[in-house]
A and B are shown apart, each in its own frame.
Chain A
Amino acid sequence: MDALRLYGRYTAVSIRSQLAYPGSFLMMSFGQFLVTVIEFVGVWALFQRFGHIQGWRVGEVALFYGLASVIFSVADAVTRGFDIFGSVFVKTGNFDRLLLRPRTTALQLLGYELRLTRIGRLAQGLIVFSIGVHMTGFSWTPASAALLAWALAGGTALFSGLFICQATLAFWTVESLEAMNVLTYGGEAAAEYPLDVYARWFRDFLIFVVPIAAVTYFPLVAAMGRTDPLGTPAWALPLTPLAGFAFLALSLWIWGFGVRRYTSTGS
């Protein structure tokens, strides 16, 4: 509880210091918005040409696309401290300072910055999702709304876990490993389309290795009231976002190894 309060304080401080430069904030946010909107325009053009992909129409894809974008923007905004971890904390030895404070290192890094400019991408995701809602006649019920919120929570946990894994590697490599972008940015891109458009091995990867489908595809299929063309039983669909939290827990456990390595070698 105390930790949550402290997180709130960190966040307030971070927001204030970002708003100290309002011009830069507005430009960056708008830039984020523009870049991602143009991306979706490309998807739109594709469907104009082909009509549908494996029975999914553009409105439905907009729902997947929007959800993935919203999840990613939230996770990307809260895990900024892990994103820049290697260059800002390991290379400089500033990680020492975190170890000198009576709080977990993960909490302090989460509190490092709430990146407000990700609001641009968040807005894009919400707009695309609304377009999808409009085109498919998505029915808002307490159940479907709760499912979406649950998917958002699980998804944020999952992507945060990925960013934490990326940061953990920096204990060994010092610089953040750009190769991890395949999983973070690449994972988000993969989640923008329904799972069954992919080959079997890639589907398995997205379900069992890095369970991105578990926080986007399955809960959204349930929220749309559809049956899963892949044959997942209806009762199982709403449970899948749990995998996101399991992934986060695993990532934090691995993070602990990184911290121990740091304290035994002194960076």
Chain B
Amino acid sequence: MPQILVEGLAKTYRVAERDPGTWGAVRGLVRRRWRTIEALKGVDFSLEAGELLGFIGPNGAGKSTTIKILSGILQPSEGRCEVGGLTPWRDRIRHVARIGVVFGQRTQLWWDLPVIEGFDLLRDIYSVPPDRYRRTRDELVGLMRLEKLLDQPVRQLSLGQRMRCEIAAAMLHEPSILFLDEPTIGLDAPSKLAVRDFVRVLNKERGVTVILTTHDMHDIEALAERVIVIGNGTILADSPFETLRQGVLAERRMFIDFEADAPDLAGLDLAGVTVHGRDGRALELAFDPRVIAAPQLISRITAAHSVADIHVDEPAIEEVIARFYDLHGAGEA
């Protein structure tokens, strides 16, 4: 029995359509026209305990609707969803006692309170026994290096410091599942790395199941073994990230520095290769390794021209995802 089971999950909203302008708003008071929005159109997946799932998709694709249903704050219109044997929206209180949720854009701590007092209050909200609380808290404080932050009011923390405290706060009651909604949004590079490290430790060493939504593809690359791509309310792909990359964009990039100005390569037999950029002596080629392997390409070029340096790279992950959305017509509406 998987820890999270989702079957045929669908959610439709009815929103009032409003004509533009003041007059339209007034008219809307009298006669309303409703428009139905299908946020989810039948989503199925399951997750075993201890997995780390990346959940990605353009804005409005249905990511946050799914997360809201899984965390018990939204009821679906149709479908089944069980988390640890409970139906989240029906057994809300028992369900939320077993999950932790971090919203990157919202705090769960108390703005005016020192961090440690917010932690203490969460202990009482979740009824964590005192000695177990002390042990968990001290571990989390050590792991996230929060010692110096504990006595500061939350409003005085930087975003990165706050996010470390937020994740620790979400783990105080030792949930078995952690939902992270854009945990690295707006963070500087060191803070992003710290958050990723922490999530990795929680998942690998503590066996916490993690569901991560993000627009930062480096989060996905660094953390997720499995990725679900959602678009237009359906699951477009559910696979390891590498599989996704190869399926969508097998293309590689070759960066060549020539001894002289970058030459015209028209005379060479270079099927499956396109010139992607050219700047003085530097040339960037895109090639399909299934048509022409990198060593072959290198030897053909070096045979004809003298080359100073070569390296081969994969296209940026953002490009892979953007290409994927395009293929499925799932770009932002």
Contacts and interface: CB of A to CB of B under 8 A. Distances in A.
B127 A2 contact: yes
Contact of A102 (B106, B113, B121, B125): B125
Contacts of A96: 68, 73, 103
A17 B113 contact: yes
A230 interface: no
Contact of B93 (A5, A103, A265): A103
B125 A13 contact: no
Contacts of A102: 93-94, 96-97, 125-127
Given A6-B125, A99-B73, A263 B94 contact: no
Contacts of B115: none
Given A96-B68, A99-B96, A102-B94, A263 B101 contact: no
Nearest to B118: A13
A266 interface: yes
B110 interface: yes
A91 to B, nearest CB: 13
Interface residues of A, number: 22
B42 interface: no
Interface in B91-112: 92-94, 96-97, 99, 101, 103, 106, 108, 110, 112
A265 B72 CA distance: 13
Contacts of A94: 106
Contacts of B93: 102-104
A104 B75 CA distance: 17
Contacts of B112: 17, 20
Contacts of B68: 96, 266
A54 interface: no
Contacts, number: 60
Interface in B218-248: none
Contact of A103 (B71, B74, B125): B125
User: Chain B's interface: helix, strand, loop or mixed, by majority?
Assistant: mixed
A52 interface: no
B78 interface: no
Contacts of A5: 124
B74 to A, nearest CB: 5
Contacts of B34: none
B13 interface: yes
A2 B127 CA distance: 8
Interface string A161-172: 000000000000
Given A20-B112, A102-B93, A264-B75, A13 B117 contact: yes
A60 B96 CA distance: 53
Given A96-B68, A102-B96, A266-B65, A10 B121 contact: yes
Interface string A2-25: 100110011001000100100000
Interface of A: 2, 5-6, 9-10, 13, 17, 20, 93-94, 96-97, 99-104, 263-266
27 contacts: A5-B124, A6-B124, A9-B124, A13-B117, A13-B121, A17-B110, A17-B113, A20-B112, A93-B106, A94-B106, A96-B68, A96-B103, A97-B108, A99-B73, A100-B71, A100-B73, A100-B96, A100-B101, A100-B108, A101-B125, A102-B96, A102-B126, A263-B73, A263-B74, A266-B13, A266-B65, A266-B74
Interface of B: 13-14, 65, 68, 71-75, 89, 92-94, 96-97, 99, 101, 103, 106, 108, 110, 112-113, 117, 121, 124-127
